[in-house]
Amino acid sequence: MPNPHTETSDSLPPDASAPVSSPSDSIPPRSPAAGAPAPRGAPDLSTTWLRVFLEVARHGSFTVAARTLGWTQSAVSRQISSLEAALGGAPLFDRLPRGVRLTEAGEVLVPHAESVVERLLGAGRELAALRERAGGRLRVGAFATADAALVPRAIAAFRVRSPGVRLSREEGLTPALLDRLSTDRLDLAVVSTTGRARLDTCALHHILDESLYVAVPAGHPLAAEASVRLPRLADADWISGGPRPEGTLLDAALRHGFRPRVAHVVAEWTAKLGYVAAGLGVTLVPALAAESVRPDVALLPVLDEDAPARAVYAATVRGRPLTPAAQVFLAALRESATRIPGTRAGGAV
């Protein structure tokens, strides 16, 4: 805090302090009556006094502080007099021919006043954010296959139950969604165990476990089979979202002892199925995306009893209670999961 000796015409820096009420809007607390016994414990102070005090100290002038606050100089003077009286009567400013400067008592008070005002401003910001999270908005992220059926159905149910909440949704890979969650750009993220992302950094709410299918052209020799083991397709051309199987659904092939030959790298699900329908290869399809498969493609359940199913979670920030809006959306996700074939609905983790 500067200790100015003369008046200055410098304007307030941005967010220097919150606006305070004008004297015509409120009556400042009375100063203690002369001769009255001093109150025990902490002095009874008005936060308005402290804000006015900081403005005068910042500018070194009652006149400039009054102009900044939109008050009269006499009103500012009365606020400072009330503060001085409440603190025992010691002057907080030396009156100079031009402006004012802090006394020793004023210097002592400055950091305490700053702390009180900043804490109150911080409390106001946090409460406003809490109100917005609770009733104003819900920011949801999801990976691509969750957007095929699970998330849209949950959104539809959520809008019926919470029509006053603004819901926004974005799509991304699980690692990117977790990053946005950790930096407070999402309130909830639907993520999966595919991609070997570190899920232990957040709170996880188990939504479902899903099985895998192999998508083959409708005329493929295996198309009429009831199910298939992946090693039977070890020599096939595969269509995958990445050039390497690690961190993708094709991790399942590695567990079965063969490295699949990725013939085409295609990110989007409908495009992958187009490549399959054209006879350019086969691909793995998770149960979440199975409902969107086209009629010229056959889906074969993968027999993989010893391998863990892919798990899907709703991730939220660890240590932060779920807002009412997030609780409603989580319940909608779990209800949606019960309607998707090839999945097993989960419980809370």
The per-residue pLDDT for range 172-203, each reduced to its tens digit, is: 989 999 999 999 999 999 999 876 667 888 99
**Residue type for 219, please?**
G
The band of 292, judged by pLDDT with boundaries at 50, 70 and 90, is: confident
The band of 58, judged by pLDDT with boundaries at 50, 70 and 90, is: very high
Angle CA 249–202–335, to nearest 5:
65
Inter-residue contact 317 to 185 (CB < 8 Å): no
The band of 331, judged by pLDDT with boundaries at 50, 70 and 90, is: very high
Tokens representing residue 40 in the block: 């025990």
The per-residue pLDDT for range 117-173, each reduced to its tens digit, is: 999 988 887 777 666 555 588 999 999 889 989 999 999 999 999 998 999 999 998
Tokens representing residue 50 in the block: 């402290």
Inter-residue contact 105 to 134 (CB < 8 Å): no
CB atoms within 10 A of CB 310: 21
CA distance 99 to 141: 56
- Whether this prediction's pTM lies above 0.75 is answered by no
Three-state SS sequence of the chain: CCCCCCCCCCCCCCCCCCCCCCCCCCCCCCCCCCCCCCCCCCCCCCHHHHHHHHHHHHHCCHHHHHHHHCCCHHHHHHHHHHHHHHCCCCCCEEECCCCEEECHHHHHHHHHHHHHHHHHHHHHHHHHHHHHHHHHEEEEEECHHHHCCHHHHHHHHHHHHCCCCEEEEEECCHHHHHHHHHCCCCCEEEEECCCCCCHHHCEEEEEEEECEEEEEECCCCCCCCCCECHHHHCCCEEEECCCCCCCCCCHHHHHCCCCCEEEEECCCHHHHHHHHHCCCCEEEEEHHHHHHCCCCEEEEEECCCCCCCEEEEEEECCCCCCCHHHHHHHHHHHHHHCCCCCEEECCEC
Mean pLDDT: which of 13-17, 156-160, 284-288, 342-346 is highest? 156-160
Inter-residue contact 117 to 146 (CB < 8 Å): no
Tokens representing residue 166 in the block: 């603004």
Angle CA 305–311–317, to nearest 5:
160
Mean pLDDT value of segment 255-263: 91
Higher local confidence (pLDDT), 342 or 337: 337
CA distance 267 to 239: 9
Higher local confidence (pLDDT), 196 or 38: 196
Mean pLDDT value of segment 13-27: 37
Q: Answer whether residue 56 shows pLDDT above 70.
A: yes
Higher local confidence (pLDDT), 344 or 337: 337
Q: What percent of the chain has pLDDT over 90?
A: 60
Mean pLDDT value of segment 289-311: 83
- Bridge-based pairing of strands 137-142 and 188-192 is parallel
Task: Name, in order, each residue with C-beta under 8 angstroms of 7's C-beta and a sequence gap of 6 or more.
Answer: 59, 60, 61, 63, 64, 98, 99
The per-residue pLDDT for range 272-291, each reduced to its tens digit, is: 999 999 999 999 998 998 88
Of 300, 343, 289, nearest to 142 (Cα)?
289
First to last CA, the chain: 50
Quick one: CA torsion of 139, 145, 148, 149, rounded to 10 degrees? -80
Q: Answer whether residue 114 shows pLDDT above 70.
A: yes
pLDDT of residue 129: 66
Q: Answer whether residue 307 shows pLDDT above 80.
A: no
Of 9, 5, 8, nearest to 94 (Cα)?
5
Backbone angles phi, psi at 298, to 5 degrees: -105, 140
The band of 310, judged by pLDDT with boundaries at 50, 70 and 90, is: confident
